[in-house]
């Protein structure tokens, strides 16, 4: 209320409105630059949330380090950063899922240790996760009141009163839903609204939205925008995580950018260009991780033409040569893993063609793919890769049992010698081949999974985030291995969300965004900015 | 110095003890086997007649029907599914074989009848679960009732007697003083152990039950592997039906009623994990024998008949509890 009288606010408001109508109005808007410190100084209200020098570690990994963040009532504060920048961890600290190891969380200016998400909820903090946490079989009304004890009369639910309150809240969001309809019959957008309405029923003052528009159509996204604006007008503070630069510039008041778990900057959204945001996200100082040797490439092994899977990716053209490493960059949810899994035959394409060594093929299952020399090392290597009760040897030979069997009888000797060969090649340590794989360390378990796929002797190797969750030393080891495999003539498709990795390893970089290839960059053209611009769709 | 090394020593000893315990716990059937041995020793102390060879043989022969079927269901459970249709199926196989034997003669034709019916039913089970994707507990429950209905319609409630002794060879014959039913069980156990250990299918059964996603990625035809386990149960149930014919010399349509639970109990009590992926072929055999020994002991101790169900229920619960505790220990890094 007080800040309505400050000269900043009306201007900020009109800025937003003009942007909503006219998305080309960037140039004259950058003229009205607002210095972030001045913006903060003008606030006369206390922040509803303040993080002071917050650090959070998981094991040896620092997820968030020394972050400062504040949030005022009636503000939309966007949070940006690459995958793994620490946004989710930060939000989970605010939502009471994690407790900071260092630093403090202040709610209404009072230092608070949140016991759990319910505690956060009681203080008016609600989180709308990307994967909605609703109950598809229950009705809209039941979903709105899950886990709540209010509106009870003599131990019974007061259905009529609940309905009235529910309609009020949904009405304030400008929607009308059948309260008795099962949630699963609603569109994703409407389900999201139910989740928002639920947080409002709990009298939320802080709403955290994690990529709310990721699953929405353009029209639905516009409606969500209106709702966010309405919430802001009613004094709710909103933390908005998104990769969509335009959306953020249009909706947010301020943007905080994070990189590698560290706080980078907080700037006024209207004053920043999309280029500015990209630059802040990627930074400029990159450690040189690994120096690749160059080797000559051979014939084309894999080619995709117009490869499409309805709702996941479309019109993918791609070639992959023997001895070549092609990096597939993009943000999470861009459709890269889905593409890889379709090539591997776990999913079926709805259109397009696939060629292996020049001949058109249809791969309908993974056994087929393995037989044809395609290997896919999934992102979830441990949960989708290992059979824990099996020995190390049995895990290594698992995808190539046919090679060590006569008919269907496994030769124990051949199996052990195959396993030994790859154990030595990958330097797997910490147990004998006959020991259970579960006794190995995480890093060595990862190597077992790689060994399993190399044992199938693939000519095409698809690696999905091969160094996720691996420490730096083990990373370099994996890079060496990838390099060596390429030198041996394998065609390698490297999916990675780490720019450094993509840039260090790739001969060529393909960038995907929202299911399409939005950039193809040679080694010379590829740099952090060019990749991020293609990945986020930024315009300069 | 000594004050410093002492706690370290005890920590070392404790961790060693833990490894030893883990190693023992790692063999799925080991605890049940130990318990069975102790139980036999205990009963023999009270009643020395128990440990006599003919008594032990009688117990093994008595266990053979449940154990044989359980060997099949064991594979189903390891693969992450369940089969509770075997009670009615045993009845159907036995009645059909008995009917054929009463009109024809000899061993071969009834045997083929029983096994073919068993395999056919197993195929239907496999189809329902892997193709139509009906959860196995529901699909085989449906089959349990459907098969029992077929049995009642075709057998018209009459008891079948008077088939030649040769038909019941698997149940009443002896070779070198050893009951044939025991030999059949031992043979099935050896073959299945070998298949389980040394063939791709045997290994895939474990993989599918432990980590379906990984198995699928590694090129395992998950559904095909599971299909095989259901067919195996059918075939073994057919053979078990022939043992039944010989052991009881008469067939009523209510043969096998309640057997499906005894079979699942044998598997679980033996030490195969009900959640799949962990177990051994020894487990169903040990489990079946243990249940028989316990029932024998109850009779020897003069415990009223009504208590047997309570005891078998308690055994299953103890086995499941043990399974949970074991998983909690072994799954810790």
A139-163 pLDDT tens trace = 898 888 887 655 555 656 677 788 8
Question: Average pLDDT, whole number, for chain A?
Answer: 82
Tell me which architecture the domain covering B28-330 has in CATH: Orthogonal Bundle (1.10)
Pick the closest to residue A332 from A78, A518, A512, A520 (CA basis).
Answer: A512
Best mutation target among B26, B205, B213, B217 (most A Cβ atoms within 10 Å) is B217
Query: Cα dist. B283→A231, B31, B269 in Å?
Result: 62, 10, 8
Q: Give the nearest chain A residue to B208 (CA atoms).
A: A387
A29-47 pLDDT tens trace = 333 333 333 334 344 468 8
Interchain CB distance below 8 Å, A410 and B199:
yes
Q: Give the integer Cα–Cα distance in Å for A78 and B75.
A: 54
Q: CB pairs below 8 Å between A and B: how many?
A: 76
Q: Give the integer Cα–Cα distance in Å for A375 and A462.
A: 6
Q: Radius of gyration (Cα) for chain A, nearest Å?
A: 26
Q: Give the integer Cα–Cα distance in Å for A361 and A344.
A: 12
Pick the closest to residue B144 from B36, B67, B259, B231 (CA basis).
Answer: B259
Interchain CB distance below 8 Å, A409 and B203:
no
B128 secondary structure, DSSP code = I
Interchain CB distance below 8 Å, B203 and A401:
yes
DSSP H helix total and E strand total for chain B: 14, 2
Interchain CB distance below 8 Å, B219 and A365:
yes
What's residue A21's pLDDT? 36
Q: Give the integer Cα–Cα distance in Å for B66 and B185.
A: 10
What is the number of residues in chain A?
Answer: 540
Count CB-CB contacts under 10 A for residue A305: 15
Residues A95, A96, A101, A105: is their CA dihedral positive or negative?
positive
Check whether A494 has a pLDDT greater than 80.
Answer: yes
What is the Cα B296 distance to its own chain's centre? 18
Q: Give the integer Cα–Cα distance in Å for A432 and A392.
A: 8
A387-410 pLDDT tens trace = 988 999 999 999 999 889 998 899
Residue spans of beta strands (DSSP E) within A21-157: 49-58, 61-71, 76-80, 102-107, 110-111, 125-128, 152-153, 156-157
Q: CA of B51, closest CA in chain A: separation in Å?
A: 37
Q: What is the mean pLDDT of residues A311-319?
A: 90
Best mutation target among B214, B216, B329 (most A Cβ atoms within 10 Å) is B214
- Give A2: exposed, middle or buried? Use CB within 10 Å, 0-12, 13-18, 19+: exposed
CATH of A2-124+205-282, one of 3.40.50.300, 3.20.20.140, 2.130.10.10, 3.30.70.1350: 3.40.50.300
What's residue B12's pLDDT? 52
Pick the closest to residue B278 from B58, B121, B75 (CA basis).
Answer: B75
What's residue B157's pLDDT? 64
Q: Give the nearest chain A residue to B277 (CA atoms).
A: A389
- Side by side, the strands of the sheet bearing A359-361 are A313-321, A300-309, A351-356, A359-361
Q: Does A409 touch chain B (CB under 8 A)?
A: yes
Q: Give the integer Cα–Cα distance in Å for B180 and B187.
A: 10
A373 secondary structure, DSSP code = T
Interchain CB distance below 8 Å, A438 and B333:
yes
Q: Give the nearest chain B residue to A377 (CA atoms).
A: B217
Q: Give the integer Cα–Cα distance in Å for A415 and A179.
A: 60
Check whether A286 has a pLDDT greater than 50.
Answer: no
Interchain CB distance below 8 Å, A385 and B203:
no
What's residue A156's pLDDT? 63
Best mutation target among A59, A365, A369, A384 (most B Cβ atoms within 10 Å) is A384
Residues of A in contact with B200 (CB under 8 A): 401-402, 405, 408, 410
Query: Cα dist. B214→A91, A423, B208, B219, B226 in Å?
Result: 32, 20, 8, 9, 15
Q: Give the integer Cα–Cα distance in Å for B247 and B151.
A: 20
- Evaluate whether A306 touches A339 at the Cβ level (below 8 Å): no
Which H helix or E strand runs over B14?
helix B2-26
- The C-alpha angle with vertex A437 and arms to A434 and A440, in degrees rounded to 5, equals 110
Interchain CB distance below 8 Å, A389 and B210:
yes
Which of B26, B206, B216 is nearest residue A366 as measured by Cβ atoms?
B216
Pick the closest to residue A282 from A492, A533, A454, A23 (CA basis).
Answer: A533
Q: Radius of gyration (Cα) for chain B, nearest Å?
A: 22
Interchain CB distance below 8 Å, B277 and A389:
yes
What is the Cα B45 distance to its own chain's centre? 29
B199 secondary structure, DSSP code = B
Best mutation target among A383, A389, A407, A464 (most B Cβ atoms within 10 Å) is A389
Instruction: Please report which residue ranges of B27-106 form alpha helices under DSSP H.
Output: 30-46, 53-78, 86-103
* Long-range contacts of the stretch A14-23 (C-beta < 8 A, 24+): A15/A270, A16/A229, A16/A250, A16/A251, A16/A270, A19/A249, A19/A250, A19/A270, A20/A225, A20/A250, A23/A246, A23/A250
Q: Give the integer Cα–Cα distance in Å for B98 and B268.
A: 31
Residues of B in contact with A367 (CB under 8 A): 219-221
Interchain CB distance below 8 Å, B214 and A386:
yes
- The C-alpha angle with vertex A406 and arms to A400 and A407, in degrees rounded to 5, equals 95
Query: Cα dist. A524→A44, A506, A527, B188 in Å?
Result: 50, 11, 8, 66
Interchain CB distance below 8 Å, A387 and B200:
no
Which H helix or E strand runs over A510?
strand A508-513
Residues of B in contact with A383 (CB under 8 A): 211, 213-214
Interchain CB distance below 8 Å, A387 and B210:
yes
Query: Cα dist. B237→A28, B163, B167, B295 in Å?
Result: 83, 20, 16, 23
Q: CA of B18, closest CA in chain A: separation in Å?
A: 14
Residues of A in contact with B277 (CB under 8 A): 387, 389
Which of B206, B217, B277 is nearest residue A378 as measured by Cβ atoms?
B217
Residues of B in contact with A378 (CB under 8 A): 217
Q: Does A5 touch chain B (CB under 8 A)?
A: no
pLDDT higher at A179 or A25: A179
Count CB-CB contacts under 10 A for residue B53: 8
For every one of its 333 residues, what pLDDT tens digit does chain B have, with 9 covering 90 and above?
333 434 444 555 566 666 666 655 667 888 888 889 998 998 889 888 888 888 899 999 999 999 999 999 999 999 999 999 999 999 999 999 988 888 887 889 999 999 999 999 999 999 999 999 999 999 999 999 999 999 888 877 677 777 778 888 898 888 988 999 999 999 999 999 999 999 999 999 999 999 999 999 999 999 999 999 999 999 999 999 999 999 887 788 788 888 998 999 999 999 999 999 999 999 999 999 998 998 888 887 788 888 878 888 888 888 888 888 877 776 544
Q: Give first-to-last CA distance, chain A, whole Å.
A: 36
Q: Does B218 touch chain A (CB under 8 A)?
A: yes
Residues of B in contact with A391 (CB under 8 A): none
Q: Give the nearest chain B residue to A456 (CA atoms).
A: B218
Percent of chain B as helix, strand, coil, to the nearest 5:
80, 0, 20
Which H helix or E strand runs over B324?
helix B307-330
Q: Give the integer Cα–Cα distance in Å for B19 and B25.
A: 10
Interchain CB distance below 8 Å, B219 and A386:
no
Q: CA of A366, closest CA in chain B: separation in Å?
A: 5
Pick the closest to residue B254 from B121, B168, B181, B158 (CA basis).
Answer: B158
Interchain CB distance below 8 Å, A408 and B213:
no
A8-19 pLDDT tens trace = 433 333 333 333
Q: Give the integer Cα–Cα distance in Å for A367 and A40.
A: 59
Pick the closest to residue B235 from B149, B317, B118 (CA basis).
Answer: B118
Instruction: Sketch the domain layout of chain A as residue ranges.
Output: 2-124+205-282, 132-202, 286-373+461-535, 378-457
Interchain CB distance below 8 Å, B277 and A412:
no
A498-527 pLDDT tens trace = 788 888 899 999 999 888 999 899 888 888
pLDDT higher at A436 or B10: A436
Q: Is the ipTM of this complex over 0.85?
A: no
What's residue B193's pLDDT? 94
Among A residues 416-445, those touching chain B with beta carbons less than 8 Å apart: 436, 438
Check whether A75 has a pLDDT greater than 50.
Answer: yes
Q: Does A306 touch chain B (CB under 8 A)?
A: no
Q: A128: which strand partners?
A: A209
Q: Give the integer Cα–Cα distance in Å for B116 and A66.
A: 72
Q: Give the integer Cα–Cα distance in Å for A462 and A340.
A: 7
Residues of B in contact with A370 (CB under 8 A): 218-219
- The C-alpha angle with vertex A70 and arms to A68 and A72, in degrees rounded to 5, equals 175
Domains A2-124+205-282 and A286-373+461-535 share a fold: yes
CA dihedral of residues A481, A484, A486, A490 (deg, nearest 10): -80
Interchain CB distance below 8 Å, A398 and B200:
no
Q: Give the nearest chain B residue to A371 (CA atoms).
A: B219
Q: CA of A452, closest CA in chain B: separation in Å?
A: 9
A220-231 pLDDT tens trace = 888 888 889 988
Query: Cα dist. B43→B36, B48, B54, B294, B299 in Å?
Result: 10, 8, 16, 10, 12
Q: Does B277 touch chain A (CB under 8 A)?
A: yes
Best mutation target among B22, B219, B228 (most A Cβ atoms within 10 Å) is B219
Interchain CB distance below 8 Å, B198 and A383:
no
Q: Could you give the 3-state DSSP secondary structure of residue B201?
A: helix
Q: CA of A454, closest CA in chain B: separation in Å?
A: 12
pLDDT higher at B15 or A375: A375
Q: Does A59 touch chain B (CB under 8 A)?
A: no
Residues of B in contact with A344 (CB under 8 A): 217
Q: What is the fold of A286-373+461-535?
A: Rossmann fold (3.40.50)
Residues of A in contact with B210 (CB under 8 A): 387-390
Which of A346, A387, A405 is nearest residue B214 as measured by Cβ atoms?
A387
Q: Give the nearest chain A residue to B219 (CA atoms).
A: A367
Q: CA of B56, closest CA in chain A: separation in Å?
A: 34
Q: What is the mean pLDDT of residues A250-269?
A: 88
What is the number of residues in chain B?
Answer: 333
Q: Give the integer Cα–Cα distance in Å for A334 and B169.
A: 67
Q: Give the integer Cα–Cα distance in Å for A53 and A67.
A: 5
- Evaluate whether A433 touches A347 at the Cβ level (below 8 Å): no
- Evaluate whether B188 touches B282 at the Cβ level (below 8 Å): no
């Amino acid at each position: 209320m007080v800040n309505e009288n400050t000269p900043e606010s009306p201007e900020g408001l009109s800025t937003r409105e003009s942007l909503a109508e006219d998305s080309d109005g960037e140039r004259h808007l950058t003229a009205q630059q607002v210095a972030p410190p001045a913006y903060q100084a003008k606030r006369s209200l206390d922040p509803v949330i303040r993080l002071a020098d917050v650090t959070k570690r998981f094991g040896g990994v620092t997820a968030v380090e020394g972050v400062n963040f504040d949030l005022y009532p009636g503000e939309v504060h966007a949070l940006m950063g690459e995958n793994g920048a620490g946004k989710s961890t930060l939000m989970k600290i605010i939502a009471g899922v994690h407790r900071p190891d260092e630093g403090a969380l202040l709610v209404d200016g009072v230092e608070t240790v949140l016991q759990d998400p319910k505690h956060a909820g009681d203080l008016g903090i609600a989180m709308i996760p990307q994967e909605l946490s609703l109950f598809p079989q229950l009705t809209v009304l039941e979903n709105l009141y899950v886990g709540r004890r209010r509106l009870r009369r003599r131990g019974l639910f007061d259905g009529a009163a609940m309905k009235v309150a529910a309609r009020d809240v949904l009405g304030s969001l400008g929607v009308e839903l059948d309260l008795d309809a099962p949630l699963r019959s609603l569109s994703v957008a409407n389900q999201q609204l139910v989740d928002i309405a639920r947080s409002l029923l709990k009298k939320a003052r802080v709403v955290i939205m994690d990529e709310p528009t990721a699953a929405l159509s353009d029209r639905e996204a516009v409606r969500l925008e209106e709702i966010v604006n309405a919430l802001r007008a009613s004094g709710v503070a909103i933390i908005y995580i998104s990769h969509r630069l335009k959306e953020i510039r249009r909706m947010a008041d301020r943007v905080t950018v994070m990189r590698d778990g560290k706080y980078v900057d907080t700037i006024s959204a209207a004053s920043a260009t999309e280029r500015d945001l990209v630059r802040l996200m990627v930074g400029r100082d990159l450690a040189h991780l690994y120096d690749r040797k160059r080797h000559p490439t051979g014939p084309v092994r894999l080619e995709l033409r117009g490869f499409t899977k309805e709702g996941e990716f479309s019109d993918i053209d791609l070639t992959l040569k023997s001895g070549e490493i092609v990096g597939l960059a993009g943000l999470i949810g861009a459709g890269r893993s889905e593409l890889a899994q379709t090539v591997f035959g776990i999913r079926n394409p709805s259109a397009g063609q696939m060629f292996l060594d020049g001949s058109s093929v249809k791969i309908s299952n993974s056994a087929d793919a393995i037989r044809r020399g395609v290997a896919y090392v999934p992102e979830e290597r441990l949960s989708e890769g290992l059979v824990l009760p099996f020995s190390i040897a049995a895990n290594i030979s698992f995808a190539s049992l046919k090679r060590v069997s006569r008919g269907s009888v496994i030769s124990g000797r051949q199996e052990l010698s195959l396993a030994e060969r790859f154990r030595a090649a990958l330097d797997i340590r910490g147990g004998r081949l006959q020991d259970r794989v579960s006794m190995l360390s995480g890093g060595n378990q990862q190597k077992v999974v790689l060994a399993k796929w190399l044992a199938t002797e693939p000519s095409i190797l698809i690696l999905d985030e091969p160094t996720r969750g691996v420490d730096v030393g083990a990373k370099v080891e994996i890079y060496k291995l990838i390099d060596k495999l390429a030198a041996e003539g394998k065609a390698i498709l490297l999916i990675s969300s780490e720019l450094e990795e993509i840039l260090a390893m790739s001969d060529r970089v393909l960038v995907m965004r929202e299911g399409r290839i939005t950039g193809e960059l040679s080694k010379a053209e590829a740099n952090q900015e060019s990749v991020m611009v293609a990945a986020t769709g930024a315009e300069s | 110095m000594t004050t410093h090394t002492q706690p370290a020593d005890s920590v070392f000893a404790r961790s060693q003890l833990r490894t030893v315990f883990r190693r023992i716990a790692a063999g799925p059937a080991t605890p049940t086997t130990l318990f069975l041995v102790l139980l036999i020793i205990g009963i023999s102390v009270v009643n020395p007649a128990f440990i006599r060879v003919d008594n032990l043989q009688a117990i093994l022969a008595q266990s053979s029907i449940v154990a044989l079927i359980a060997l099949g269901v064991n594979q189903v459970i390891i693969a992450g599914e369940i089969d509770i249709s075997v009670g009615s199926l045993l009845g159907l196989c036995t009645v059909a074989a008995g009917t054929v034997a009463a009109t024809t003669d000899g061993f071969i034709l009834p045997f083929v009848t029983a096994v073919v019916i068993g395999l056919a039913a197993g195929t239907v089970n496999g189809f329902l679960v892997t193709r139509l994707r009906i959860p196995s507990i529901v699909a085989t429950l449906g089959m349990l009732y459907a098969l029992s209905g077929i049995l009642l319609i075709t057998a018209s409630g009459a008891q079948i007697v008077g088939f030649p002794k040769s038909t019941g060879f698997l149940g009443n014959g002896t070779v070198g003083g050893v009951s044939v039913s025991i030999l059949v069980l031992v043979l099935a156990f050896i073959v299945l152990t070998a298949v389980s250990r040394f063939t791709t299918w045997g290994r895939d059964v474990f993989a599918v039950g432990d980590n379906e996603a990984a198995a699928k990625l590694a090129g395992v035809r998950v559904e095909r592997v599971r299909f095989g386990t259901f067919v195996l149960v059918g075939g073994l149930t057919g053979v078990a039906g022939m043992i039944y014919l010989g052991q009881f010399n008469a067939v009523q349509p209510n043969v096998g009623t309640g057997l499906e639970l005894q079979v699942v109990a044998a598997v679980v009590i033996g030490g195969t994990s009900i959640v799949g992926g962990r177990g051994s072929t020894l487990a169903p055999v040990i489990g079946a024998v243990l249940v028989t020994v316990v029932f024998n002991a109850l009779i020897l101790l003069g415990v009223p008949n009504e208590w047997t169900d309570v005891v078998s229920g308690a055994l299953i619960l103890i086995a499941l509890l043990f399974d949970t505790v074991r998983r909690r220990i072994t799954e810790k890094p």
